[in-house]
Structure 1
Amino acid sequence: MTTPVAPAPVAERIAPLRAVVDTVLRDFGDLGYLAPKGVLEVPVTVGPVHRLRIELPRQFLHLQSVDLVTDDGSDATAGATVTASSWYGTYGDRFTPEALFDWDNPTGTVVHTEKDDPSWVEITFPSPLRLTAVRLRNVNGETATRAARLRVVARTRFRSHVVFDGGRRHKELRSVAATMPTGGDPDLEILRDVLVDTASGSYQKGKEKLGSADLDPALVTAFRGLANERLLPSRNLMWTIHGPCRSFRFWSDDEQLAYVRFAAEVVDVLRDLTPHVSLGFGSVLSVVRDRALIPHDDDLDLIIGFEPEEAATLADGLALVASFLTERGYAVRGNWSAHRQVARTPKGKHLDVFVGLFEGDAISWYPGTRGALDRDTMYPTAEAELLGVPCRIPARPETYLERLYGPGWVSPDPNFAHRWDRSAYADLAGGRPAPAPAPAATASPAPPAASPTG
């Protein structure tokens, strides 16, 4: 009889992925350009150069600043002219070459084209010169990843030379990673591919691959830890249960304060609709446990409750919230079965507003356990401060958190995930059924847009 071989410890299993990260950092450091304000330095070994072209196929081209390095230290920008394939909005009216070439004093997005094929910016020199390097600074924001397939082309007298090709670099990384051993572990082969997507800035693709794979949860946790330890911090990102995102860890104090104030404002506005509204889910953890925004979270959640005569179904309650806030100038978006996203502007940072319905004295909010909460636990709401901002929270917040997260709520758990059992709320949903969510990496189904954090 053959004795079963015990699986290797997770730290040992994931060692091949550490080797992949080592390769990315050592040999593909130029892909760090995809970080907000990331810098790409391209050696130029051809010349003399008549024109320099920065292009991007089928994508908006963004640039914050450009630095041109010459072999003799002369000013390559003197007399240079800058043209673009197009200008997005009013960027063309505001553009000045001085702002683009002021490397030491970046002022935000300077170049923003339309989504051309390709989009390009071209710098033409009054006379040919010998460049030794070109430095490009990416924009500061999530759109930095649009530069994944960026190309830099130097035009000499007789031909054009591609001195950098981002698309080719991504293919080279994938090819190199594919040759790196995984010990025949099929889970590691999937995670290796996800890691390459992450290094290449294809965060949504990597998130979808991870979410659709049936992987050992402990291995997934170790994978996230590896990405968060070595690969993503320089990009101001963290791999959370929402995927790679700019978590609160990377927000400035002013950004955090403004966001908390916005959450408190929306709660106050909704109190004109019903007094049964407060912070909820991880937002209450922020107030009670962390006394700060949770570093591994990236949004705040509000919860609102309706009596049966106010809203017979979740769809009715969501329609009330959307109509009420839209009339007051807020942007409301989404078509999820239990929540909506609310922001100041259509593209602004959102809050998640979850709707619950009273069933006698019981009330609950998906994805929490149905019927686990009651009026006395929730209302009338209490007041507590978050970052010095007075906020509404459940009447008995510790009881609320224990019923929602269990006794372990007192300790932060970046890998906590709700069960997401939508069937328990099926008779309350109303309206048209929403499409089933993609399964999360923990093998528990989770929706793509809202995952109240622990």
Structure 2
Amino acid sequence: MVAISEAVRMPLIEEQTVSDSLALGRRVVAKFPDLRFLNPGGELELKMRIPAATAVRIELPSTESLHLATVLIDADGVTDLVAATSRTTSSSWKDYDKTLASGILFDPGNRETAMHTRKEWQPWMQISFTDPVEISRIFIRNRDDGTSVRARGLQVLVQNDHGRWTTVYDGIRREREFAAAMNRAYGGLTARLDPVIGRLPAWIRPDLHRGAPAGILASKPQTNRLGGDLVRILTALYLRDYTGVARDSDLLDMSADQAAHFRALVNSNILAERELEWTSHGIRRSFRFWPRVEQEQYVSFAMGVVEALRDLNDCVCLGFGSVLAVVRDHTLIPHDDDLDILIGFTQDQASSLADGIALVRQCLIPKGYSVTGNLTAHQWVTKSGSSHKVDVFVGLFEGQAISWYPGKRGSLTREMMFPAKSMQFLGTECVVPREPEQYLEQVYGSTWSIPDSNFRHQWVRSEYADIAK
């Protein structure tokens, strides 16, 4: 999406009721029901009349994986799509070639992934008919999880018996049409100020008139550059282009309460049905959307990483919000999306955070883990064949004091943290700081027992500059 210049900031939005919140945006979205195909289990129905069709091809225009649950084709005289067609794909991930051959793709009630290519440039699937048929309808059901968004830009083509391909659905064109419709609905990026302000939803109207003499705006209309920035953010959200949304929204000059209110509205009106949530981490599939079994598997994965790190030393435990989950909530925090692991090194093991990160990599990579991230004091840890990821934070003992960035330096002690305490959590024996309540009060303050979905660490990197490298 187009980034907002840091030199231009949105004036404070007004404090208003939200009865009409996203009404205008929803009216635009209602004219593009096909965009809901990108939701988990989203459905796309295409009606047409194409005689003498010999094949249907579904493809993506980018480097991505193509995966679908269902494809139904209404073709005259065809009662058994499995027998009447052959199915081929550009590639197959794992054993999905066998799944595709089984014909489950043509089961109207199927919601499991029935075909899956590798991640590649312009992946495709082609369904070819033994004899030419007349096609009147194509129905496609997306994969029923958060990866459904990978289908952005979906293209559907039909070939006739002369070899000519006709595009019956173009996801790229539809996105462009939607962006243009949003632009028109909100008055255009270069529209005069007053008409645009009248059409913006009440909860996001910029208070551009505050403090201006009444006659100035009336006699000297302005262009709505700032309103245009907001329209671009909303359009990107509707189109699932989340890159830069959180960063650009930070440039809208809102108070902390207003920003939280804005995110809450976006969550309830746009993201919830996609099993996503806008939190302090960005736009993620937060734990509130994870089934219990998935949560239990994730906690088990995290403790596997803890056990592996114990080859380095015993100063390893869960940290930050993960401790809140174990001690306060007794379940994964609904608005969170990952678990954090802390490891502490003495000076004879590591003299800098970079040294500590190197030790973590040397320990975990030979055990089959992937350790990535060009970060000050933590790394992202995953494992081949698993979608799970944990953050491993490195800390250094300075005498009896220790801390983990972004926490306040020197605010914790060895006695408070280790040896770690064991607690049962979601079916797994987990380890937390030795004095978990003291730890939580140091990190989150005296109100740590009260959930706060808008809490943010300060991230004062300068406090750790002398031990970073």
Shorter chain as normaliser: what TM range? 0.7 to 0.9
Larger CA deviation: 154-163 vs 62-71:
154-163
Matched, 1:124 2:118: no
- Residues 73 and 98 (structure 1 numbering): CA distance in 2 closer, same or farther, change over 3 Å? closer
Equivalent residue, structure 2, for 1:26: 30
Deviation at residue 235 of structure 1 after TM alignment: 1.6
Matched, 1:54 2:58: yes
Larger CA deviation: 167-176 vs 99-108:
99-108
Equivalent residue, structure 1, for 2:7: none
Query: Contact conserved, 1:401 with 1:409, CA < 8 A, in 2?
Result: yes
Matches within 5 A, 1:353-432: 353-430=392-469
Counterparts of 2:16 and 2:21, CA distance in 1: 10
Matched, 1:135 2:139: yes
Query: Contact conserved, 1:20 with 1:192, CA < 8 A, in 2?
Result: no
Matches within 5 A, 1:173-322: 173-181=178-186, 182-183=196-197, 185=206, 188-211=227-250, 215-322=254-361
Matched, 1:96 2:87: no
- Residues 417 and 176 (structure 1 numbering): CA distance in 2 closer, same or farther, change over 3 Å? same
Q: What amino acid maps onto 2:168 in structure 1?
A: V
Counterparts of 1:15 and 1:177, CA distance in 2: 20
Query: Contact conserved, 1:331 with 1:346, CA < 8 A, in 2?
Result: no
Query: Contact conserved, 1:62 with 1:113, CA < 8 A, in 2?
Result: no
Larger CA deviation: 197-206 vs 299-308:
197-206
Query: Contact conserved, 1:76 with 1:129, CA < 8 A, in 2?
Result: no
Deviation at residue 257 of structure 1 after TM alignment: 0.5
- Normalising by structure 1, we get a TM-score of 0.84
Query: Contact conserved, 1:308 with 1:358, CA < 8 A, in 2?
Result: yes
- Residues 261 and 113 (structure 1 numbering): CA distance in 2 closer, same or farther, change over 3 Å? closer
SS of the residue aligned with 1:204? Answer: coil
| Residue 105 of structure 1, aligned match among 89, 110, 120 | 110
Q: What amino acid maps onto 2:284 in structure 1?
A: C
Matches within 5 A, 1:9-20: 9-12=14-17, 18-20=22-24
Counterparts of 2:234 and 2:380, CA distance in 1: 29
Query: Contact conserved, 1:247 with 1:297, CA < 8 A, in 2?
Result: yes
- Residues 149 and 287 (structure 1 numbering): CA distance in 2 closer, same or farther, change over 3 Å? same
Deviation at residue 7 of structure 1 after TM alignment: 6.3
Query: Contact conserved, 1:299 with 1:352, CA < 8 A, in 2?
Result: yes
Q: What amino acid maps onto 1:57 in structure 2?
A: P
| Residue 155 of structure 2, aligned match among 135, 151, 157 | 151
Counterparts of 2:453 and 2:465, CA distance in 1: 29
Deviation at residue 34 of structure 1 after TM alignment: 1.4
| Residue 81 of structure 1, aligned match among 81, 86, 95 | 86
Q: What amino acid maps onto 2:109 in structure 1?
A: D
Counterparts of 1:352 and 1:194, CA distance in 2: 29
Larger CA deviation: 194-203 vs 299-308:
194-203
- Residues 152 and 11 (structure 1 numbering): CA distance in 2 closer, same or farther, change over 3 Å? farther
Counterparts of 2:98 and 2:77, CA distance in 1: 34
Larger CA deviation: 189-198 vs 408-417:
189-198
Q: What amino acid maps onto 2:150 in structure 1?
A: R
- Normalising by structure 2, we get a TM-score of 0.82
Deviation at residue 224 of structure 1 after TM alignment: 1.6
Matched, 1:172 2:172: no
Instruction: Report Cα offsets for 1:367-411 as digits up to 9, x if no partner.
Output: 011122122322222222222322111122122111111123222
SS of the residue aligned with 1:260? Answer: helix
Instruction: Report Cα offsets for 1:43-86 as digits up to 9, x if no partner.
Output: 22444533322122233332232112357884455412223344
Counterparts of 1:97 and 1:75, CA distance in 2: 13
Q: What amino acid maps onto 2:175 in structure 1?
A: H
Q: Note the residue ranges of structure 2 that are not aligned, 5 or more in a row.
A: 1-10, 187-195, 198-204, 207-224
Deviation at residue 306 of structure 1 after TM alignment: 1.4
Equivalent residue, structure 1, for 2:46: 42
State the aligned residue count: 423
Larger CA deviation: 358-367 vs 380-389:
380-389
Q: What amino acid maps onto 1:306 in structure 2?
A: F
Larger CA deviation: 265-274 vs 398-407:
265-274
Instruction: Report Cα offsets for 1:78-119 as digits up to 9, x if no partner.
Output: 412223344456644664161322232344241415624x43
Counterparts of 1:157 and 1:268, CA distance in 2: 61
Q: Note the residue ranges of structure 1 that are not aligned, 5 or more in a row.
A: 1-5, 431-454
Equivalent residue, structure 1, for 2:120: 115
Q: Calculate the aligned-residue CA RMSD, in Å.
A: 2.8
Equivalent residue, structure 2, for 1:446: none
SS of the residue aligned with 2:333? Answer: coil
Q: What amino acid maps onto 2:455 in structure 1?
A: F
Identity %: 40
Equivalent residue, structure 1, for 2:214: none
Q: What amino acid maps onto 1:419 in structure 2?
A: Q
- Residues 375 and 93 (structure 1 numbering): CA distance in 2 closer, same or farther, change over 3 Å? same
Matched, 1:338 2:377: yes
Counterparts of 1:171 and 1:310, CA distance in 2: 55
- Residues 197 and 17 (structure 1 numbering): CA distance in 2 closer, same or farther, change over 3 Å? farther
Counterparts of 2:103 and 2:415, CA distance in 1: 63
Equivalent residue, structure 1, for 2:364: 325
Instruction: Report Cα offsets for 1:119-176 as digits up to 9, x if no partner.
Output: 3322232344343321112234444222111111233467543221111111111111
Q: What amino acid maps onto 1:403 in structure 2?
A: Q
Larger CA deviation: 412-421 vs 45-54:
45-54
